[in-house]
Amino acid sequence: MNDIIGEIMRNVYRGEEGIHIIERDDGFESQDLGSWFDSSYDDWPDCQKEPLRFVKGRILDIGCGMGRVALHLQAQGHDVVGIDISPTAIDLCQQRGLRDARVMSAAELEFPEEYFTTIILYGNNFGVLGEPKAVVSMLKEIHKITTKDAVILAETIDPENLTNPIHVKYHESNKNKGNLPGLWRIRTKYKEMVGDWHNILFVSPELMKEMAIEAGWLLEQVIGERDLYVGILKKV
């Protein structure tokens, strides 16, 4: 696996800004700061702060990166497990003091049944597995490893809210292909490194609700605006 995101995080840990490019398969590019991976709580958007009032019990942070959310919650006294597919990210979490950090894919959650009460899917990680079927499958697996009163804090972007003509054209192209509009194929560029192409899925609250119900969850509340929001999912 090309661990370009891990390399960005490693350099952010060393004090660099980690400026990198996200390229979409239609040629659209955006420049991002890797320092966001290590942002402090005070710098988080309100839509990430406010949902933390729902946190309870043992927590699983899926796609934890270098641990910005997991470490904050651990400092608040919570029992937190952080997982990420990047070995470098997990190494950094451990160096930074996260007590339970594991290399693991969101597609293969290896935990006992009813083990967690809260699941964190920040960083647009609701759609981290890309294909809709894979996302629903992940939600079903989360259902198995969580308690009856479990909650998911699921972050994403509503693609239909993006009005840039370049995005509108891309979403229309997706629809013409029979795909969901928010299914993006992207890769990361950093210094001389180029990451692998992969899919990520962005969804509207309405679609999040549909996908959640299919997996045994109810979208109870939406926090934030459609350009970045967190859905509060609870077991049906």
Q: Which domain holds residue 32?
A: 4-235
Helices 87-95 and 4-13: crossing angle, nearest 10°? 20
Tell me, what's the pLDDT at 2? 83
Average pLDDT, the chain: 97
pLDDT digits 0-9 by tens, 141-158: 999 999 999 999 999 999
What CA–CA distance (Å, rounded) separates 116 from 149? Answer: 10
Q: Contact at 8 Å (CB) between 19 and 30?
A: no
Separation of alpha carbons 220 and 235, rounded Å: 10
Strand ordering across the sheet containing 217-225: 101-103, 80-84, 59-62, 116-121, 146-156, 228-235, 217-225
> Residue 53: CB partners within 8 Å, gap ≥ 6?
none
Residue 54: give its domain's CATH number: 3.40.50.150
Provide mean pLDDT across the span 69-98: 98
Would the pTM count as exceeding 0.85?
A: yes
pLDDT of 1? 64
Number of structural domains (the chain) is 1
Across the range 65-77, mean pLDDT stands at 98
- Is residue 132 within 8 A of residue 201, CB to CB? The reply is yes
The stretches of the chain forming alpha helices (DSSP H) are 4-13, 46-49, 68-75, 87-95, 132-144, 165-176, 205-214
Mean pLDDT across 44-53: 97
* pLDDT of the residue at 152: 98
DSSP state of 195: P
pLDDT in tens, 166-208: 999 999 999 999 999 999 999 999 999 999 999 999 999 999 9
